[in-house]
Amino acid sequence: MNRFKEMAVDALVQQVKELERDTIIEMIETPPENHQGDYAFPCFRLAKERRRSPQLIAAEIAEQMEIPSIFDNVVNAGGYVNFFFNRKKLAEEMIHQVLREKEKFGSSSLGNNKIICIDYSAPNIAKPFHVGHLRSTAIGNALYKIYEHMGYTCVGINHLGDWGTQFGKVIVAYRNWGNPKDIEEKPIQTLLDLYVKFHDEAEKNPDLEDEARNWFTRMEQGDEEALTLWRWFSNETIKELGKIYELLGVKFDYYTGESFYNDKMEPILQELSEKGMLKNSQGAALIDLEEYGMPPCLVQKKDGSTLYATRDITAAIYRKNTFNFYKSLYLTDYSQKLHFAQVFKVVELMGYEWAKDLYHLPFGRVTHEGRRIQTRKGTVVLLDDVLKGAIGRVTEIIDEKNPMLENKEDIAVTVGVGAVIFNDLSNNRIKDISFSWDTAFSFEGETGPYVQYTHARACSVLRKADDVHLDVNDFDGAELMDDVSNQVIRKLEQFEDAVLDACSKDEPSILTRHVIDLAQAFNRFYHDHPVLSAEPEQRTARLMLVESVRQALSVGLNLLGIKAPEKM
């Protein structure tokens, strides 16, 4: 919680003894219009116990309160205790804070370096990396940065789908119709084409399915010929994925995919069996979860092969032993809800009390212009195409609006990719989102380019003003007391809480929203108030506000995994 809100809470705690501090924190509101007060505490709940009207109670609390010096005034308004900031003081506190903290603005040491494992992106080799995986990548990457800003230490894990029956299919397809050159040149597309081709051909010739199963069994049994092909497919794909991640500006601490657990599952199956948890069902091994209202969790097929769930149970235990995490997060779409509920239940039943620290963070599906994205046939939108399309679109806009821009290509990449990520992160995690070429790239409205453009505009003002050397000691908060300037200051004041809220709810869209609000408040300010041509004292104050907003937007975008170019 930011220190000013904390002051209001502390003052309330003294007056409202019948409520816990945490309850007061939950109840305190931030009214939308600053005329109604900057913070408001509703007294309706107190009426019954105090046997008085909320208005009287609010008046009484306001009356008796020792007003913290950052506030000018505390009054009753319709049953609310309303706090009004001393605008001059608040402006001075905030500007000093932003200019002092710089890229650490809004950070905290709350996390105390506790470890957060984040499992994100995790595309499947030989299947498409589509815009659905982008959500996992974008949300996971943003959470990584947000948690770190809150003082946690993150471990980013890419649990690649690099093992499974699809490899048997791809091997068969490659041997029949593939060639090495295509794999090396564009592995992701080529392997996907082979996968699709396999399904087409297998419809006509079902024997192919047996052949594919046979190749996957050979992989599982350690057959060198099968493994060599698998390793080559994986390595080529990982190389190409690396380029996409570089474009997105996303990094992982570990690329430990499903195959990493191949030699680690046997002891876990052993443990499950020793703990009396395994049930034999026609030769297959499963854990009965009926008692918990879930279908059984299959961990070994009758041919001895393991499953997605077996690897996830093993991975959870491996991560606990290796990183001793405080929390372990998994980002996939909500279709995997049951899978994770089963996996977490099994870990709990194994007697690991830390199973409660495993969190599946589901997100909605991505539809493309209204249609669902599918793997095998039809409407696959590959991430690579989306990014290239985005960059192309932005290039056109730049050519039209600012053809003389230096580093046009780089900026088109930054803005195009930023638009795609921002679009993804502006939606509430659980909502299905629709991807549309028309809305994602606008320089107006609530888009990434709009925020980036606002940042670049602030940079441009500061560049033009470079005759002055900004010294924070010259700053006079009295110059920024009007409503429009004060709104910008308020958005800076609420920044830290937006990051905190995004972190505690695992919801980057809260920060995205706040960054848009800040950009809009700033653009209103910039529209209403001349900066460079203002009187000297006012000019200095306004320039420092511009610099503070620039800094805050840059921090905000960075936490979302988006670059903030200085010119565009």
Task: Give me the residues that bind ligand ARG (CB under 6 A), please.
Answer: 119, 122-124, 159, 161, 312, 315, 330, 332
Is the CB of 11 or the CB of 373 nearer to ligand ARG?
Answer: 373
Q: How far is the CB of 81 from ligand ARG (least distance, A)?
A: 47
What phi and psi, each to the nearest 5 degrees, are found at residue 299? Answer: -115, -15
H helix intervals, 53-159: 54-64, 87-101, 131-149
Residues 6+ apart with CB under 8 A from 242: none
Is the CB of 54 or the CB of 168 nearer to ligand ARG?
Answer: 168
**Side-by-side strand order, sheet with 279-281:** 279-281, 284-287, 297-300
Specify the long-range contacts of residues 422-425, CB closer than 8 Å, at least 24 apart.
422/447, 422/448, 422/449, 422/451, 422/512, 422/560, 422/562, 423/447, 423/448, 424/134, 424/135, 424/138, 424/139, 425/138, 425/139, 425/142, 425/508, 425/509, 425/511, 425/512, 425/560, 425/561
Query: How do beta strands 366-368 and 371-372 pair?
Result: antiparallel
Which one of 127, 149, 491, 514 is the catalytic residue? 127
Q: How far is the CB of 124 from ligand ARG (least distance, A)?
A: 5
Query: How do beta strands 153-157 and 115-119 pair?
Result: parallel
What phi and psi, each to the nearest 5 degrees, are found at residue 297? Answer: -100, 110
Which one of 88, 96, 104, 130 is the catalytic residue? 130
Is the CB of 138 or the CB of 419 nearer to ligand ARG?
Answer: 138
Q: How far is the CB of 168 from ligand ARG (least distance, A)?
A: 17
Burial of 492 (0-12, 13-18, 19+ CB in 10 A): buried
CA neighbor of 510 nearest in space, from 556, 551, 549, 555 = 556
Classify the phi-psi angles of 561: left when phi > 0, otherwise alpha if psi is within -120 to 50, otherwise beta. Answer: left
Residues 6+ apart with CB under 8 A from 392: 416
Q: How far is the CB of 342 from ligand ARG (least distance, A)?
A: 12
Q: How far is the CB of 127 from ligand ARG (least distance, A)?
A: 7
DSSP designation for 469:
P
Is the CB of 46 or the CB of 382 nearer to ligand ARG?
Answer: 382
Is the CB of 306 or the CB of 332 nearer to ligand ARG?
Answer: 332
Q: How far is the CB of 340 from ligand ARG (least distance, A)?
A: 8
Is the CB of 19 or the CB of 160 nearer to ligand ARG?
Answer: 160
Is the CB of 12 or the CB of 373 nearer to ligand ARG?
Answer: 373
Annotation marks residue 159 as catalytic: no
Q: How far is the CB of 167 from ligand ARG (least distance, A)?
A: 14
Would you say 447 and 419 are in contact if contact means Cβ atoms under 8 Å apart? yes
Q: How far is the CB of 562 from ligand ARG (least distance, A)?
A: 23
Would you say 35 and 87 are in contact if contact means Cβ atoms under 8 Å apart? no
Which one of 17, 35, 114, 133 is the catalytic residue? 133
Burial state string for 175-196 with b = 16 or more CB within 10 A and e = fewer than 16? eeebeeeebeeebbbbbbbbbb
CA 249 vs CA 136, 145, 372, 414, 491: distances in Å: 14, 12, 27, 10, 27
Is the CB of 305 or the CB of 460 nearer to ligand ARG?
Answer: 305
**Side-by-side strand order, sheet with 115-119:** 153-157, 115-119, 327-333, 358-363
DSSP conformation letters of 136-172: HHHHHHHHHHHHHHTT-EEEEE---B--SHHHHHHHH
Would you say 87 and 37 are in contact if contact means Cβ atoms under 8 Å apart? no
Is the CB of 361 or the CB of 425 nearer to ligand ARG?
Answer: 361
Is the CB of 159 or the CB of 169 nearer to ligand ARG?
Answer: 159
Distance (Å, whole) CA 438 – CA 447: 11
Q: How far is the CB of 268 from ligand ARG (least distance, A)?
A: 15
Annotation marks residue 130 as catalytic: yes
Q: What token pair was written down for 347?
A: 């870990």
Distance (Å, whole) CA 373 – CA 130: 8
Q: How far is the CB of 550 from ligand ARG (least distance, A)?
A: 37
Annotation marks residue 127 as catalytic: yes
Give the 3-state secondary structure of 436-447. CCCCCCCCCCCC
Is the CB of 237 or the CB of 487 nearer to ligand ARG?
Answer: 237
CA neighbor of 493 nearest in space, from 506, 504, 480 = 480
Q: How far is the CB of 137 from ligand ARG (least distance, A)?
A: 11
Looking at the annotation, which residues are catalytic?
Answer: 127, 130, 133
